[in-house]
Every structure is written in structure tokens, then in C-alpha cells.
Amino acid sequence: MKHAATSEAFPDAAHDHAECISTALAAAEDTCRREGLRLTPIRRRVLELVWQNHRPVGAYDLLDQLSRDGKRAMPPTVYRALEFLQGAGLVHRIATLNAFVGCSHPDHAHQCQFLICSDCRTVVELESENIGRSLKREAAALGFQVREQSVELTGLCPECHPAH
């Protein structure tokens, strides 16, 4: 049994992958149309693969998966696609894992924080204004002007920790 609070943030293992992939892709199409960005076939495919994995996935894993489509892909292909997707706010890079995840809130610009389960590797994207503000405030107190934040919390998700 799980709290109501967790059921939204941490996806059920049995949730409908196919649907969340197609939702993400549809959202991406929208975003790109709105912003005048080109979601080309490769970029779309990479985004699809990122969501298919539904956990942080390395560039070279994506590369392997891309290559299974038929034609062998090279590293720059996937890195370029990822760079575009990050720029468009459709994908985030997890620095502590050298890996990428689909953005859960692609519809608007935001600074976010990640909860990374070290057991099942699930990642949840938090979007706490509160944390963002605290960080900026503490930095500003030292005269530091924040441009980017990378906040990655590693630990155990509700499904994986002993209390469960």
C-alpha cells in the first residue's frame, strides 16, 4: 500500500508505458511547434527512446537502441539530438549519472530537482519553487548570482526503502 502523495510522483511499475510515451511525444510536438523548433525524425526517435527507458539512460545505450533501427548511428548523432532536446527543455541531463531523462514538465521553463533511487534507478523530477528560492537567496547573501542549478538527491524511493 502506498500514500496518495507518492502515487503521482513515483510511477507504478505497472503503469501504462505506451501511454506516457505517446503523451510525452505529443507534448514535445506541441512545444516545438509553439517555439518554432524542428523535432526531426532523429530527435523524435531519441526522445521516444528516452521515454521508453523511463529511467536515466546513457548516451551510448541510446546509441545502441538507435542502431537497432537498422542503420548504425554514431555518437555525434545521439549527442546532437540530446543537446537539442535539452535546449528545448524536453530532456534533462543527470550529472551524477552521466545520463538523460525525459522532462516531466516540458510545457514551461523551470528549474528542477531530481530524486534518484539508488536501488531501482527511478528518477523523479521535483519542481519546487521553494527550494529554488532558498538556493538563490543563500547564494545572493554571498553576492553570488545563480544561473543554473543542478540538484540531485540520491537515496531510496518509497518502493525501495525498508519502511515500505
Partner DNA sequence: CAGAGATTGGTATAATATAACAGCACGTCA
Partner DNA sequence: TGACGTGCTGTTATATTATACCAATCTCTG
Sites of contact with DNA (CB under 7 A): 37-38, 40-43, 58-61, 71-77, 79-81, 84, 93, 98-99
Asked if 153 touches its own copies (CB under 8 A), the answer is: yes
Of 87 and 134, the one with the shorter C-beta distance to DNA is: 87
- The C-alpha atoms of residue 121 and residue 159 are separated, in whole angstroms, by 11
For residue 100, what is the DSSP state?
E
118 binds, among DNA, its own copies, none (CB under 5 to 8 A by kind): its own copies
Q: Which of residues 103-132 bind its own copies (CB under 8 A)?
A: 113, 115, 117-118, 124, 126, 128, 130-131
Helix 59-67, helix 75-87: angle, nearest 10: 120
Q: Which helix H or strand E contains 139, and what residues bound it?
A: helix 129-141
Q: For residue 91, is it left (φ>0), alpha (ψ between -120 and 50) or beta?
A: beta
Of 32 and 132, the one with the shorter C-beta distance to DNA is: 32
Of 76 and 145, the one with the shorter C-beta distance to its own copies is: 145
- The C-alpha atoms of residue 68 and residue 61 are separated, in whole angstroms, by 11
Long-range contact set of residues 72-76: C-beta below 8 Å, sequence gap at least 24: none
158 binds, among its own copies, DNA, none (CB under 5 to 8 A by kind): its own copies
- The C-alpha atoms of residue 89 and residue 74 are separated, in whole angstroms, by 23
21 binds, among its own copies, DNA, none (CB under 5 to 8 A by kind): none
State the minimum distance, in angstroms, from the CB of residue 163 to its own copies.
Answer: 8
- The C-alpha atoms of residue 126 and residue 27 are separated, in whole angstroms, by 19
Binding site for its own copies (CB under 8 A): 2-3, 5-6, 9-10, 95-96, 113, 115, 117-118, 124, 126, 128, 130-131, 134-135, 138-139, 141-158, 161, 163
